[in-house]
Amino acid sequence: MNKLNGMIKYFLCVMIVSVMATNISHAQEKAPAPFGPVPTANQMRWQQMEYYAFVHFSLNTYTDQSWGFGNEDVNLFNPEKLDCRQWARICKEAGMKAIIITAKHHCGFCLWPSKYTEYSVKNAPWKNGKGDVVKEMADACKEYGLKLGIYLSPWDRNHPDYGKPEYITYFRNQLTELLTNYGEIFEIWFDGANGGTGYYGGANENRTIDRTTYYDWSNTYKMIRKLQPNIVIWNDGGDRADLRWVGTEGGAVGETNWSLLNATGDVPFNMLHYGVENGDSWVPGEVNTSIRPEWFYHPGEDARVKTLPQLMETYYNSIGRNGTLLLNFPIMPNGLIHPNDEKAALDLAAAVKKAFSVNLAAGKKAAASNTRGNAKQYSAAMVTDGNNESYWATDDDVTNASLTIDLGKPTSFNRFLVQEYIRLGQRVKAFTVEAFVDGSWKELAKATTIGYKRILRFPAVKATQVRFTVTGSKACPLISNIGIYNAPQILDAPSVIRNQQGEIIITPVDDESAVYYTTDGSVPTVNSKKYNGPVKTDGKVEITAIAYDAATGKSSPVSNEKFSISRKLWKVVGIEDEKATAVLDGNPATAWHQGKDKKVPVDLVIDLGRQEALIGFRYLPDQNIWNPAIISHYEFYVSNDNADWKLVSNGEFSNIKNNPLWQVKNFSAVSARYIKLRALQKADGNEETGYAEIDVITE
């Protein structure tokens, strides 16, 4: 009897354990719970768009300025060929999903006939004051199946009430016009430039505001969302918006990129660039950059449109790093996108299509080290099924796991794409990619965050299997898609600099390409001079150069650099620091900082060695994104004896903090031996003043 009772107890225990195991298995088969902040439906729709356009067009298009002051003549606005359908067609053909139009930039001029100001198209000669650019843009977007976004500058250098409480009513009235009269708006974009010098209805003064409180963003956001329930809000100041700036207009977000920030508190640069791993709010990054150096059209930039390699780099550093890409087209004074800009955008679209047209992992067998509850719906096969709504998942207690894809035969590839199922949160902190080559595993790459999409690049490898390993995750990883690609090589243009001794130095981006160049600005070919080392020059010279790969017969885009007088006689005056020569060495990567612990103004004086006929100067700020100490307001003087100085140029370097490119300022011709750049104000309030290069423009 005791033996029988023992057997019964044994079988009961087995049954209990079996039931418990079954329950655990069933529990693991349930969908994973969300982890941390997750995207809203609006943010999810926005993320899936990936790529869309900016168009910048205003009165300063006609004055060759970066920012309008607010007193530009309305009569300048008369684009005789304006065609928003051309803009929309180009964007559609370029693979973009939407267009954001600068309805009002800082100068205050409105591209729609706002009833709240006279400073708009209704008083311009274009279409006898009956035109509405925003409406034409909305109609063109609808025709081409694109979404419409609106840029409205909170800063208004024209309006007399800016800085006063009354302006907020004006600002919201204009927002209401734009968000009710032009159909559905997918994104509203507020620039972070707020306050400074302006016309302000004739006051011509400096006005400052507290951008965190002045606009009463909380109530402004409520109004926006009531008028446009499906909208996302971009703003880099005030209350936390739906989307964030990434801290630069250079076309890149951090290699580590969390789609998270904290709901309150200051947002320093590193948080904007990289996100916050344990942030309490979902605030993904939008990478905004222009197809040219600046945002508005400048004729001098027609030959400075970004090359295909540069645009591909932007693609990988934005969409390929869990961001979206907002690429700007500066509209010409005639109202059209320039042919060079159109070609560049279409070339990018073709290159992206070619690089990612064949997913070598599609439909291939995959096996994982762990599958959630051993359930088929969470198996490794979900990453190669072409469905972004299915995903491989592990058990809740498994945060390090691997997945292997069998390519079936030796296959060449150089790109790896991976996506998380972000509807349930961003989780992965680190991962590696390996290839099975000649019987052993070889590490190809390792990275940190994934998010919506991550693309890794590496030298081409031929392998039979690929292994993806999550080496760190905040919760069980959820991977919706893996892609393996063999992208064709795209040669980048070589860099061209001239050092202080006047030597031209041309550097290809790889060690295998040959370089050919000309010194008269003509287009180089393989029959031009071959670069074998520094080329001595003096005086004005225009260098063009290409990289050429003999194995493929492909050439890079053309580099083009114009140089004025040689700087071999130049000296920095009154400075004992030997590092100061960095401002004259011709290398944009080197920099020097002056005036630490000193208050502005700070002077940099240079002896040109002899009298020169000057018509302008150029300033390149420190290119390091950390503590660049950029000059925002300046005075420029000339002298023949370093004693009697003449002011020849003064003002601001518009938008230089966000877009720290070469700043070019022209002035009336003058003969001088000494030059002095005086820093009146820094873009970031820094006590130091940073310089990468200083140069002059001669007759």
The angle that helices 133-143 and 84-93 make with each other, rounded to 10 degrees, is: 40
For 663-674, write each residue's pLDDT tens digit.
999 999 999 999
Provide the whole-model pTM.
Answer: 0.88
Name the nearest CA neighbour of 599 among 679, 545, 672, 655.
679
Q: Where are the domains of the chain?
A: 41-355, 365-485, 495-563, 571-698
> How far is residue 544's CA from residue 67's CA, in Å, rounded to a whole number?
31
The alpha carbon of 357 is separated from its chain's Cα centroid by a whole number of angstroms, namely: 24
Domain 365-485, what fold?
Jelly Rolls (2.60.120)
For 257-278, write each residue's pLDDT tens digit.
999 999 887 788 789 999 999 9
Q: Which two tokens stand for residue 575?
A: 């400075």
> How far is residue 343's CA from residue 306's CA, in Å, rounded to a whole number?
11
Helix (H, G, I), strand (E, B) or coil at 498: strand
- Give me the pLDDT at residue 124, please: 98
- Cβ atoms of residues 469 and 507 within 8 Å: no
Helix (H, G, I), strand (E, B) or coil at 120: strand
Q: Do domains 365-485 and 495-563 have the same CATH topology?
A: no
For 391-424, write each residue's pLDDT tens digit.
999 999 999 999 999 999 999 999 999 999 999 9
- Cβ atoms of residues 299 and 290 within 8 Å: no
Q: Which two tokens stand for residue 92?
A: 């559609």
- Cβ atoms of residues 160 and 209 within 8 Å: no
What architecture is domain 495-563? Sandwich (2.60)
By percentage, how much of the chain surpasses pLDDT 90? 84
For 449-476, write each residue's pLDDT tens digit.
999 999 999 999 999 999 999 999 999 9
For 165-221, write each residue's pLDDT tens digit.
999 999 999 999 999 999 999 999 999 889 999 999 999 999 999 988 999 999 999
- Give me the pLDDT at residue 599, please: 66
Helix (H, G, I), strand (E, B) or coil at 548: strand
For 96-140, write each residue's pLDDT tens digit.
999 999 999 999 999 999 999 999 999 999 999 999 999 999 999
3-state helix vs strand vs coil in the chain, percent to 5 = 20, 35, 45
Give me the CATH code for the 41-355 domain, please. 3.20.20.80
266 bridge partner residues = none
- Give me the pLDDT at residue 15, please: 47
Name the nearest CA neighbour of 450 among 315, 263, 323.
323
State the pairing for strand pair 529-530/514-518: antiparallel
Give me the CATH code for the 571-698 domain, please. 2.60.120.260
Transcribe 356-395 into DSSP letters: TS--TTTT-EEEES--GGG-GGGSGGGGSSS-TT--EE--
Helix (H, G, I), strand (E, B) or coil at 19: helix
Name the nearest CA neighbour of 417 among 442, 370, 450, 368.
450
